[in-house]
Structure 1
Amino acid sequence: MDNLTTQGISLPRLGLGTFRLQGDACRTAVESALSLGYRHIDTATMYGNEEAVGAAIAASGIARADLHVTTKVWHDQLAPDAIRRACDVSLDKLRLDRVDLYLVHWPSPTMNLGAVFDSLVKLKEEGCTRAIGVCNFTLPLLRESIETIGAPIACNQIEYHVLLEQTPIHTYLAGKAIPIVAYAPLAQGRLAEHPQLTAIAKKHDASPAQVALKWLLDQDGVAAIPKAGRPASQQSNLDALKLRLDDDDRRVIAALPKNQRFVNPGFAPAWDKATA
């Protein structure tokens, strides 16, 4: 599986998202994914499943050095002391002495961005995480973080799929050699009967979801973390890597409306005003 190199870490381009997977179902899903060859597992404090993820990792027998684990601190825990406590709790639940990537899950309007990154950098220096990054940061927030503060961001994890335009952020981050990690890359299951994707899929003896996933992973500097609880879905996502989309396929996908955002909690940034 291809990896992206960022801030000294090697990030598998296809990972397993675990949002909304809980308890034994989560543990079973992570165990299945690891047995199929996944080496990138994404979780978060807010998901409430770090213990299940940690149990699956412990049972897998996979060498720690061969596994990438991401977790995240929630938006209401961005004071320096709270970040430290949250990280300690996550490591304890995951049964790990470090994670590979520790992310700000959502920006907060009350956060002191400089203090947030000071705290994250300290965690990195102390070996609690190998790299730090952000999720759901708008272009202005990215510019402030990277250009003003000088934060060593390893990625921006954002909603990204065939129905949502992310070119401005992608172009900016590509210029800084910082990858995007696409969450909800299958539009939360909404692509199964999409007519244009279905037509492309039939041409390649594939599924619409595989077409959508391969479109993302064909882009430079993009990784993806589709949630998949069933082994068959996990294998299907792995098999998407074998697809070869052609120029006609890409033209059809490029012409799709790309204004559909499916993850937008009440505290999210005003995305339509945050691209300048």
Structure 2
Amino acid sequence: MDIPLLRLHDGNQIPMLAYGTGTAWFKEVGDTSFNQGLVDLTKAAIEKGFYHLDCAEMYGTEEEVGVAIKESGVPREKLFITNKVAQGIDDIEAAIDQILQKIQTDYFDLYLIHIPFFAKSDEDFQRAWKTMEKIRESGKARSIGVSNYLRPHIEATLKGATSRPVINQIEYHAYLQRGNSYVAWLQEQGIQVGSFKGLTPAFRAPPDGPLREPLARIAKAHGVTEAAVLIAWIIRNNVVAVTTTTKLDRLDEYAQTLKITLTEDEVRDITNVGATYHFRMAWGEHFSKDDRS
């Protein structure tokens, strides 16, 4: 599977389609059970060419992912592994050592601060980022970035940064294109954007939303599913698409994305129609109902 690559400002490249090992497989804190289903599906994803694996300390799935990687037989250097720190934010260096051990690798290709809500001041953002820079220098992460950051969080971080984050992974889809030109601003700063919850308009938002007709029409025109169309729209916007599933056949559905090229009119249609509706899935407790930031 030929997944397009997006260049990061540090010179590294990130595959623009990733298999997420969280959300659908999320474990509650303290759950130490072993999920063989996740091992089997992650191994299948790797064998199908999903070489970008998106993980996080918060998901609690590193042991299963590590076993899947080992059993797949694919060399580590062919994989791109993203991980994110949350619970271990007070001691990021200890957190990454623990997670690297669980997943049985010496480094992550990309390591992110998962959420900004730990910080009580600009100095908190800056201290955390200085530690991330040390981790990159140590070789335990080849690239470093953030997730769920808003513009004030980025600006606070940059005040004390030697280098800026390479990426900000945020909830991004046609029903949440982020207000105040935030995505464009990030890209202008040299900070790439990653998307999670990208299939929300098809699977999570109310089914009678305004994209119902355009998505059905565009999917039929290309002979693919609406999910494939939504992923294609994300990638066409130069955004990395992270998606997950517990069903093997969905992997083939997502791979259809790479076989189609949306027209400019189709991209514009999804963008314009999607922008008339607002629906947020993640971290809603931190936003007012109509906040599109």
1:200 equivalent in alignment to 2:204: no
Alpha-carbon offset, residue 59 of structure 1: 1.2
Within the candidate set 84, 92, 97, 2:106 is matched to 97
* Worse-superposed segment, 40-49 or 5-14: 5-14
Bigger CA drift: 179-188 or 245-254? 245-254
Is residue 155–residue 181 contact of structure 1 (8 Å, CA) maintained in 2? Answer: yes
- Residue 232 and residue 99 in structure 1: after superposition, are their counterparts in 2 closer, same or farther (change >3 A)? same
Within the candidate set 242, 250, 265, 1:233 is matched to: 250
Structure 2 counterpart of 1:91, which letter? L
Q: How does 1:1-276 map to 2 (within 5 A)?
A: 1-6=3-8, 7-19=10-22, 20-21=24-25, 23-74=35-86, 76-79=87-90, 82-107=91-116, 108-110=118-120, 112-146=124-158, 149-166=161-178, 168-187=181-200, 189-190=203-204, 194-220=212-238, 222-253=239-270, 254-256=272-274, 257-264=276-283, 266=285, 268=286, 275=293
How large is the Cα RMSD of the aligned pairs?
2.2
Q: How far apart are 1:213 and its partner, in Å? A: 0.9
Q: Which amino acid aligns with 1:248?
A: D
Identity %: 29
Once residues 156 and 11 of structure 2 are traced to their aligned partners in structure 1, the CA distance between those partners, rounded to angstroms, is 22
CA contact (8 A) 2:205 2:279 kept: no
- Partners of 1:191 and 1:197 within 8 A in 2: no
Distance in 2, matches of 1:274 and 1:200, equals 26
* Cα displacement (A) at 1:269: 6.1
Contact 2:83 2:112 in 1 (8 A): yes
Query: What's the CA shift string for 1:18-52, capped at 9, x where partnerless?
Result: 11326112111110110001110001011010110
Is the 2:167–2:193 contact (alpha carbons within 8 Å) kept by the matching residues of 1? yes
Other structure's SS at 2:170 match: strand
**What is the deviation of 1:169?**
2.2
Structure 2: gaps (5+ residues): 27-34
* Structure 2 CA distance for partners of 1:5 and 1:147, relative to 1, 3 Å: farther
Which amino acid is 2:88 matched to? Q
Report if aligned partners of 2:130, 2:161 keep a CA contact under 8 Å in 1: no
* Partner deviation per Cα, 1:221-261 (whole Å, 9 max, x = no partner): x1111112322111111111211222332232122224211
Q: Counterpart amino acid of 2:93?
A: R
Q: Distance in 2 between matches of 1:274 and 1:211?
A: 23
1:70 touches 1:101 (CA, 8 Å); kept in 2? Answer: yes
**Do 1:192 and 1:208's aligned partners in 2 also have CA atoms closer than 8 Å?**
no
User: What SS is found at the alignment partner of 1:223?
Assistant: strand
**Separation in structure 2 between the aligned mates of residue 90 and residue 17 of structure 1, nearest angstrom:** 16
1:156: how far off? 0.2
Report the AA paired with residue 77 of structure 1.
G
State the shift of 1:191 in Å: 6.8
SS in 1 for 2:106: coil
Alpha-carbon offset, residue 72 of structure 1: 0.7
Cα distance in 1 for partners of 2:190, 2:108 equals 22
| CA distance in 1: counterparts of 2:5 and 2:261, whole angstroms | 18
Stretches of structure 1 lacking an aligned partner (at least 5 in a row): none
